[in-house]
Every structure is written in C-alpha cells, then in structure tokens.
Structure 1
Amino acid sequence: MKKALLSLGLLAGMVGAAQAQTGIKIGLKAGANMSSFTGTDKQDVTSRFGISAGATFNFALSDMIAVQPEVLFSQKGMKLRYTGDDSSDATVFNSTGNVSGTFGQTLTYLDVPVLLRVNTGGSSGEGLFFELGPQASFLVGQKSAIDRGDKATVVLAGPNRTNPTGGSMPAFAVGSSTDDFNRVAFGYVAGFGYQLPSGLSMGIRYTGDISQAYKDGSGTADALKPYQAFDARFTNPKVHNSVFQLQVGYTLGL
C-alpha cells in the first residue's frame, strides 16, 4: 500500500511539473519602430518612425525555454535627402535639369517571427528574458512621397537608380504601387526585455531582412509608365530593411 501511495504521489508530482513547464500564454504588444535601409545602395538614408502592434503566443518547453510565434503589423521604410543633375533630360525634370528634395517611404508589413525565448525568472516568465529567431515578412502596402523639393522628380522610382551613361541620380516615384517590391522577405530577430509579475513587459529588439526590399532589375512602378523608355536606363536598388523596435506587451496565462 505504501508503495502504491508513493507511486501515485510521484505520478501526481510529475503531471504537475509537466503542466507548469508546458503552459500556454497569449498576449498583446505594441511599440515604436525606427527603420532604415542597409545594403549596397543604401546611400545616406536616415531613419523614419513607424508603429508595430499585434499578438503573441508563448509555448513553454521548460521553466526557462519557450517558443514564441508572433503576428505583428509593422511599419518600416526610410527617409533620404537627395540632389542630382541631368541637364540632358531637362524636359523630364524641370527647366534646369536639377532634382532635389526629401523622399519619404513607408513600407507596411505583416511580420511573423518565430522566437526562441529564454526566461531567467523560471516558469512564471517574470524577470529578464532574451529572444532570437527567424522572421517572415509579408508586404501589405507602401506609400512614397516627396516631403519637399521639385515635384517633377516623381517620374523616377526607387533610391539610387544607377544611370549607365555615367553618374548616379537618386530620384523617386511617388505613389502606392508595390510592383517594384518583393512581396515576401525573410530575416531574423534578436532582442531582450523584462517582464513583471503582473504580465506587463518591455523589450528592445532588432529585426534585419536577409531578403532585398526591391526586386532585381528595372523598375515597373505605375508612375514610370509615361517614361518607360527613359526608365529602362535605371535599376532597382539593392537594399534590406533594418529596424530597431521598442515594445510594450501584456501576457495572460491560460
């Protein structure tokens, strides 16, 4: 009888430990993005502000280790101050052939990271945590605009269009076409943060794309259709999304 009771006690303890280690938690998070481009053709881009928000799903594998997939709406992009000259094509630009202004671009993605999360506070998840994992990003839309400068520069699309006749002319198309962009990008996420016993958390992370933001080859943006012969001289830039994120979340255990 004693052995049977002892066996039942051990079994109950093992079941309780397994339940503690394999809990499922869901949560919500929101935050700010500071995004830019990296890559061969990034030029002198500066960061732009965006937002991120979505849901998290935390599957504990042990007291310290969990797998955390997320679905996040995320605004990325950049700003670029540009100047250039191509007097030979002055009729396309303006009376002098000069192009200048500040170009702003917002790329909206649905990010789906799958993170390995290490909790230093044990099964409760509170305390300092670290996270690392791959991410797939699905382009939802884009919006480009000239903040100031010569509006005639809308006849070009994409940063750092290389001019084969010599020289470089970083001018841009304005609009919402996604024809020039890769619809799916793959990258990585790395970060850390702190979670309170109440379920509130704050974290800092970096997300970088391995895939290029633009497609290879010549641009096909709608704004270029009246100037297709002219556009054939230019190619899409080789750049990748680069984002620093500050996030606040709330996690509810199930």
Structure 2
Amino acid sequence: MNKIFFALVMLGVVSLSAQEKTTLPQIGVKTGANMASFNGKNVKNNDYIVGLSAGVYWHIPVTSQFAVQPEINFTRIGGRLEDKVVEKTKTTVKNKNKITLDYIEVPIMFKYYPAGSRFNIEVGPQVGFNIYAHNNATTTTINHITHHNPYSNSLPTFSNSAYNDNVVTTRAKRDVQDLFKTFDYGLNFGLGYNLTDHVNVGARCYMGLKKIAENVNETRETKASIKNHSFSIGVGYSF
C-alpha cells in the first residue's frame, strides 16, 4: 500500500505538468461529515465517532475524462477504544476512551469521468498533520469482593449489595498530543457526482497507512498499531 501511495503522488506531478492548455481549472470550497475509527494490529473493541470537515480544492481538468484535484482540508476524526486489565490483586480496570483528533489534510485526488459524464470515480494519496488530540476517558475500577455474606442463607429476601464488588468510576478530559504522531499518510477512494456546473456531492473512504499511536492510556499492557480510518460524505461548490 505504501508503494501505491508514492506512485500516486508521482502520477499527480506528471498529470499537472501534462495539463491541456484549453481546460479551465476551478477553485472551490467544500464541507461535510465523517464517521471515523481506528484500526490496526491489536486494536480491539473500537467504535466510530462523528466529525466535521471543511476545506478548499483546485479542480484541474487534464482531458475530458480525467482531472486532478489537490485539496486542503480541516478534518475532525478519531475513534472510541475500550480495554480491560485484570490485575493479580483481583482488581479489574476498564477504560473507555473517546479520542478526538484534528488534522490539516492535503489529498491529491485523481478523478475519472466515464464517457465525459457528471459521475466520477476518484482515488488519491493524502498526507495529514495533527494539530489537536484530546481524550474523554472513563475509567472503571472494580475491586472484587471474595468473602462470603454470612446472612445470605438466613435472610434470603435481603439484598447482598453490601457484599458486592466495590466499583469506582472516574472521568477525565486530557490532552494526549504527546501520544499521537504529528504526521499521517494514507489513501482515499471515492465516488462523486456534479449536480450542476458549480455544485457537486461525493462520498470518500480514507485508509491510513501510518501508525499514529501505540497506546492511549497507562493501564493497557498490549501495545497496538493504531491507524486512522474514516468514511465521509460532503458537498462542494466550484466558482
């Protein structure tokens, strides 16, 4: 996948240099929403978060069926991670992490318009620069009670709650910028449609190729290879 990434970057450079002089590039703005999560080795119990994106693009027709579109976008992605650690002292620690990551992203999309239609298929590399990383963490510590309730047999109608596990839940919001790498890169795949000469809509999937973190809390024993993954929909306007 890394070889594909760099091959597409080189293709973009060649395509821009080969642009036909008769075509007219268009500058546009775009906005949309995305669903993002983490994937990678040892990444388990993960879930999506919803974020927003906005940016500008430069649509450069190369032929009647092929175009190159560099973009600069602000995107909020991230994900939810859960893990559980059972200690020898018969204490269980459960962590729920909602990670929010803000990126300045620079994709270069290669768009193909079959038979010159308004519909297009796109693919392209992307680099991203992390400018914000925040974790809304919920930690639940369970101290397991192992002794027997002496009244459980004689008073069966009474609750045994006094002898249940001791559960303590804490919530914290903290900056985790130091846990995440600044630079990210990956590949985009998507579909688009030009509603008019100025308005367009599209859907896009991003697959991160670079490990951006190994851990998001101190209690996790197994290191993970955390990578970004997102699906987005959006609308654009070309001037």
Aligned-residue offset at 1:236: 4.3
**Which runs of 5 or more structure 1 residues have no equivalent in the other structure?**
1-17, 89-95, 153-171, 225-230
Which residue identity lines up with residue 51 of structure 1 in the other structure? L
1:143 aligned residue: 134
1:32·1:49 contact (CA, 8 Å) conserved in 2? yes
CA deviations over 1:175-197 (Å, ceiling 9, x no partner): 11311211111101110111112
TM-score normalised per structure 2: 0.71
d(CA) in 2 for partners of 1:54 and 1:30? 6
User: For residues 151 and 64 of structure 1, do their structure 2 counterparts lie closer, same or farther at Cα, with a shift above 3 Å needed?
Assistant: farther
1:99 aligned residue: 93
CA deviations over 1:55-111 (Å, ceiling 9, x no partner): 0111111111111000111111111343332244xxxxxxx7322253211111111
d(CA) in 2 for partners of 1:121 and 1:72? 29
Q: How does 1:70-81 map to 2 (within 5 A)?
A: 70-81=71-82
2:92·2:141 contact (CA, 8 Å) conserved in 1? no
Note if 1:250 corresponds to 2:234. Answer: no
Note if 1:210 corresponds to 2:209. Answer: yes
TM-score normalised per structure 1: 0.67
d(CA) in 1 for partners of 2:172 and 2:129? 22
**Which runs of 5 or more structure 2 residues have no equivalent in the other structure?**
1-19, 143-170
2:157 aligned residue: none
Name the structure where strand makes up a greater proportion of residues.
Answer: 2
Q: How does 1:71-220 map to 2 (within 5 A)?
A: 71-88=72-89, 97-120=91-114, 122=116, 127-146=118-137, 148-150=138-140, 174-214=173-213
d(CA) in 1 for partners of 2:206 and 2:119? 20
2:35·2:49 contact (CA, 8 Å) conserved in 1? yes
Which residue identity lines up with residue 60 of structure 2 in the other structure? F
CA deviations over 1:94-150 (Å, ceiling 9, x no partner): xx732225321111111100111112463xxx610111111001111111012x443
2:133·2:180 contact (CA, 8 Å) conserved in 1? no
Which residue identity lines up with residue 190 of structure 1 in the other structure? F
1:45 aligned residue: 46
Q: Secondary structure at the match of 2:47?
A: coil
Which residue identity lines up with residue 80 of structure 2 in the other structure? K
1:207·1:242 contact (CA, 8 Å) conserved in 2? yes
Which residue identity lines up with residue 208 of structure 1 in the other structure? M
Which residue identity lines up with residue 24 of structure 2 in the other structure? G
Note if 1:240 corresponds to 2:214. Answer: no
Q: Secondary structure at the match of 1:182?
A: coil
1:34 aligned residue: 35
d(CA) in 1 for partners of 2:189 and 2:231? 10
Q: Secondary structure at the match of 1:175?
A: strand
Which residue identity lines up with residue 127 of structure 2 in the other structure? A
CA deviations over 1:29-76 (Å, ceiling 9, x no partner): 111111111111210201111111100111111111111000111111
Identity across the alignment (%): 27
In the alignment of these two chains, the number of paired residues is: 192
Q: How does 1:48-59 map to 2 (within 5 A)?
A: 48-59=49-60
